[in-house]
Amino acid sequence: MFKPISNSSGNRTSICSQVETGKIIANKLYCCAKDNKNCSLTSDCFGNNFEVAQCHTLNNFDACKRTDLAAIQVCGGLQNSLLCLSVDTSSKNYTEYYRFPKAAEWIVNRSSEAETNNITVCDDGTSYRPCNTSNPNGTIANLTCGDLFQSEHRCNWRNITNGEVIADLPRKPIVELCGVGLTTTVISTTTTTTTAVSHDNDNDKPVIIGLAIGIGVLGIIAALAFFNIYKLRRRIRHINVEVSSNSASINGDTT
């Protein structure tokens, strides 16, 4: 099961499909083929039919500390899911695009509270760091991304050489909750089973009550019968005593 968050067509991405088969390790970078849905652990990902992807455990996802409604809707009540981010790689194997793979890695790895809001980061040739649009000295590329938790957000990468933009790549990263409710499903199944057993017991209650009443009535009847027999035996014994006394009196008078 999955829940689309941002830029999803409604269909699972390659990595989300693999999550449900148990083949994806959280916080690892994958290169996934769109056609056959295969994903492999590698940072070397290039081509127009591939996407860079990474999944994060939601209960350890720092951005879930955000208190805005968008974050609450994504993070609330789904702590056993993986939040997976995917973005298309570059198909342009030109010198001016050589730093884009690192930008793609940053996009799918953005997880801190600050990084998941609207943000611009600059590439100094070693890593991407938060900056502004003024492009500090040493900037060779910058990347601007919208709010990760919005239903539609964009990222735009630019190569900057000598202060001029010489390459531009817009991207629509896909964000999904994958493996949604796996634990919830188990709990639901257990609850259903328990409820079913409970209903069966409810159906048996009239029978059990009937048996209990029947046994109680039989017990009362038996007790009354025993009491009546006891009284009858005492009455017979009393009559025998009276008969014996009368017989003795009659014999005495005759003598």
What is this structure's pTM?
Answer: 0.67
Q: What is the pLDDT of residue 195?
A: 33
Contact present, 130 and 119 (Cβ < 8 Å) = yes
Instruction: Compute CA 165 distance to the chain's CA centroid, rounded to the nearest angstrom.
Output: 44
Q: What distances in angstroms separate CA 170 from CA 153, 161, 179, 188, one per listed residue?
A: 11, 18, 29, 42
pLDDT over threshold 70, residue 142: yes
Sign of CA dihedral 89, 158, 127, 4: negative
Residue 51: strand, helix, or coil: strand
**Percent of the chain scored above 90 by pLDDT?**
29
Residue 11 CA to residue 173 CA, distance in Å, equals 14
**pLDDT tens digits, residue range 60-101?**
889 988 999 988 888 876 667 899 999 998 876 677 888 898
Is the CB of residue 59 less than 8 Å from the CB of residue 26? no
Average model confidence (pLDDT) for the chain? 76
Question: Residue 55 is which amino acid?
Answer: C
Question: Is the torsion defined by CA of 211, 214, 218, 220 positive or negative?
Answer: positive
Please tell me the predicted confidence (pLDDT) of residue 194: 31
The yes-or-no verdict on residue 39 having pLDDT over 90 is yes
Listed by start position, the domains of the chain span 2-180
d(CA 45, CA 24): 17
- Asked if residue 245 has pLDDT above 60, the reply is no
Region 166-183: mean pLDDT is 82
Residue 198 has pLDDT above 50, yes or no: no
Averaged pLDDT, 221-246: 60
User: What is the residue whose two structure tokens read 């974050």?
Assistant: 71
Confidence band for 31, pLDDT divided at 50, 70 and 90: very high
Q: Is the pLDDT of residue 202 over 50?
A: no
Separation in Å, CA 46 to CA 42, 82, 98, 101:
11, 25, 11, 8
